[in-house]
Structure 1
Amino acid sequence: MTSASDLQFKSINYTGLGEGPRLIVTGAVHGNETCGTIGIGRVMAELDSGALRIANGSVTFVPVTNPLAYRLQRRAGDRNLNRNLFPNPAPQDFEDRIANWLCPLLAAHDVLLDLHSFNADSEPFVMVGPADNDGPLQPFAHAASEKALAKRLGVRRFVDGWLATYGAGVQRRLSDASQLQTVLRYGVGTTEFMRSTGGYALTLECGQHRDPQAPEVAYRAIMNTLAHLGLIDAPAPPAVAADQIEALSMVVVHDKLDQGDSFARTWRSFDPVEVGTLIGTRADGTPVLSELEGRILFPDVNAGPNQEWYYLTRANPAFAAQD
């Protein structure tokens, strides 16, 4: 029997003698996504043995961000930690209590690398943030630094546009505009919170949950990040070649309107679609067709009515040219 009262939070910091940025690396934000935990453990073993040394700045590791979900070997404890991630003076669930510890820890750092995995078979990818802007949704001033790091994590696929696309879907489905800011908070996870504090952040999806290569992807990304930021004495990792990059921007989210809405096939993230591709069928028989050429993302066969059903992305060729 697992009791939340038996659990505690743990972070480990290594600080060099020289000046440098403050990096934080998180694993197991979702408890069944353990590749980051394994990758972090491998790097920490090298630091503890003396095989690796932090020369400049500091790095904080959080091997298990959600200890309840991790102990239960499932995605969440009481709820999804990576949504509505804000300090809560009157915590209602275990994830609120994590947030009250985690959010100040994130705010004390400059850069976040958040390590995840996913359910379907696909290649690793990085979720990146918005362009520099001073808008109300997600103001940001470190897009160039964020993209430069993203291109050095060791993967070739990049996706941007999460919060803006999610927010547009929220606005569309809300009947009461006064609820907008409250509901938009649900779209804020680790990286969005980190950017709100003035830092920058990347979510690396390292591979399928049980892929034996996923921990290797996590380890390589941590080592490349340490080298790129100058925290260790190591050659700077090269950026992925421009002709190898696949960059996608999330464009639109479509909701499931009725429990009877169904997909036309078993979709996986990054499956290609053309204009007119049959995505699914509404409960009344109306076909649901793709309005653009691109790739489907996060198709959710278990979505309920008035929930996100799938996202569509299109190619973002400008990303490859930016550094």
Structure 2
Amino acid sequence: MSRPRPLIIDISEHQLPSNINYHVLANSIDLAVVRVQFGSLREDWQFRTHLQELKKVGIPVHVYAWVRGISASDMAQEALAFYQRGQAFQPLFWWLDVEERTMVNLAQGAEVFRQRLKALGAKKVGIYVANHLFHSFGFNESLISKYDGLWLPTYGADTGEYQGANPTAANYYDWHQYTSTGRLPGYSGPLDLSRHVGRQPFSFFLGGPEEKLVSYEMGTSVVINGVYKSSVSQEKLRPLRNQGVITKIVHGAPNPYLLDNGALGWVNDQVIVSQGESVYQVKAGDTLWSIGQHLGISWQQLASLNQLTNPDVIYPGQLLRY
């Protein structure tokens, strides 16, 4: 059994400030995430006190909001309430806590929340998603790549210590909440404990520069002169062909770009020679005609360029060159 460092806790009104010795607790933790709200209408009763006391003892603070929006407009309103409540404390990071199914596609709703927070001025926005609900909520690694951090919980036996039970919803994540029954000096009750996994350096979560972690975006067509078997492989191989489309990005990996959903392999900036043709990813409800109107070319050109035998048959996620 072990207790990894750096050690991260998250707290809310359930941990009463009157029961916490912040000076003692500060000796055991490296960062604290404080809940600000439960939906837009329900403010956490203790968030201001927690944030003030943690800052006094020199603990870096993040904030989180339990997401409860039932529509896109409701998600935007929740983001506004979250920002207005939290901005005075200058948190280093803003987290969306997605655990409750309030929309058919929570991933789409959360994206509205994220975009609104960014527009309001939040520099770094991450997301916490229940590990067992990750995919049923509509999340995938492409959508998650838009966030500045991914935090996944899974407890195993939930003994209060990390015992090697890791999240399964995504291959790469930044934080792992590994218990809800942790015990630390300075507070007599149970605490959620999380460990930093390392997709991005811990300094990034302590106010480090908001650096661009990758040079290319999803859907970009690139010309390459080499390829790798995995995102962490060191052996450069000869590619089957010299051009592919980025269909997945793993931030912080040595070879962060997956080409053609794995049919071509993984690449990095060093083996990318240049950017190739532009690519459009089909969305639900798209038609070839509407895509052409959006891109400023005819649907006939799109059909010909992509060798579509039936231009009426396209599907969400399909990549079309133009």
**TM-score bin, normalised by smaller chain:** under 0.3
Answer 1 or 2: which has greater helix percent: 1
Higher-Rg structure is 2
**What TM-score comes out, normalization by structure 2 length?**
0.25
Larger relative contact order (CA 8 Å, sep ≥ 6): 1
